[in-house]
Amino acid sequence: MAETTQAVAAGEKPLVSLVSTSKQVVRAHRASSLLMLAPGVLGVLVAPFWVQRFGVTVLDLGLFLAMYWLTLGVGLSVGFHRHFTHGSFQTSAPLRWLLAVLGSMGAQGSLTYWVAVHRRHHELSDVEGDPHSPNLAGRGIAGTLRGLWHGHYGWSLSYGLPNAMHYCPDLARVPYLAAVNRNYRKWVLAGLLLPGLVGGLVTWTWTGAFGGLLWAGSCGSSCPRTRPGP
């Protein structure tokens, strides 16, 4: 089913806009979120044993910082947030494609999904229907902790799927962006494997390859990434 946007009478709470909330969609969304989380969790579990045996090299740290900056700083913050969600600046088609790819490698959701969720967040900020508000979980320490969990990750395990054609038709109808969107999981996989490939080519060793995969790919995807503000 879907919740439909309606006119809001003066003084009433904003009504929820188009979002698919069927059990099938929510389950699929939950499974996708857990799948995207799995490499990071696995990396964090493996990392202590790797450090004890092989340590951390300058190359490992360099690849980690490079991928974190490219995916979070450029792809998600500049691309998904400032450019695609808010239209804060204009740029060429090749650079838009690159921003979409780098943002997808950040593993926070496909382009149209991320933008639809964030535009919906601004539509219903801190009221019922806000996808990831931390301020609707009650008062006191318990409410604060519930809000912290919900706002950072928990919402993605129970939320529905915003209608991309309602929230971001400007992106869904662009062929090269739609192509990036369809191949989201492939770009996530590329973001995991690319630093491993670089590490292997630079050192020509399997430890260099796995170190790049572990630190810049797997562990990098699990680092705290609070959602951008307005």
**101/156: higher pLDDT:** 101
12 in a structural domain:
no
| Distance from C-alpha of 48 to C-alpha of 64, rounded to nearest angstrom | 16
pLDDT of residue 228: 43
14 in a structural domain:
no
98 in a structural domain:
yes
3 state DSSP class of 161: strand
> For residue 222, what pLDDT band results from cuts at 50, 70 and 90?
low
The answer to whether 218 and 42 are in contact (CB under 8 A) is yes
230 in a structural domain:
no
Highest mean pLDDT out of 9-23, 62-76, 206-220: 62-76
**46/222: higher pLDDT:** 46
Who contacts 123 (Cβ-Cβ below 8 Å, separation ≥6)? Answer: 14, 17, 129
HSE-CB for 64 with a 13 A CA cutoff: 19
**Rounded average pLDDT over 155-178:** 88
pLDDT in tens, 108-143: 889 999 999 999 888 888 888 888 888 887 888 888
**218/106: higher pLDDT:** 106
| Distance from C-alpha of 139 to C-alpha of 147, rounded to nearest angstrom | 9
pLDDT of residue 146: 86
**Rounded average pLDDT over 28-33:** 78
53 in a structural domain:
yes
Does residue 22 surpass a pLDDT of 60?
yes
pLDDT of residue 82: 96
Does residue 81 surpass a pLDDT of 50?
yes
**Residue 203 corresponds to which amino acid?**
T
3 state DSSP class of 35: helix
Does residue 213 surpass a pLDDT of 60?
yes
**143/197: higher pLDDT:** 197
Does residue 93 surpass a pLDDT of 60?
yes
Which tokens in the block code for residue 122? 């601004």
4 in a structural domain:
no
Q: How many domains does the chain have?
A: 1
Range of the domain at 57: 19-222
| Distance from C-alpha of 75 to C-alpha of 31, rounded to nearest angstrom | 24
158 in a structural domain:
yes
56 in a structural domain:
yes
pLDDT of residue 174: 96
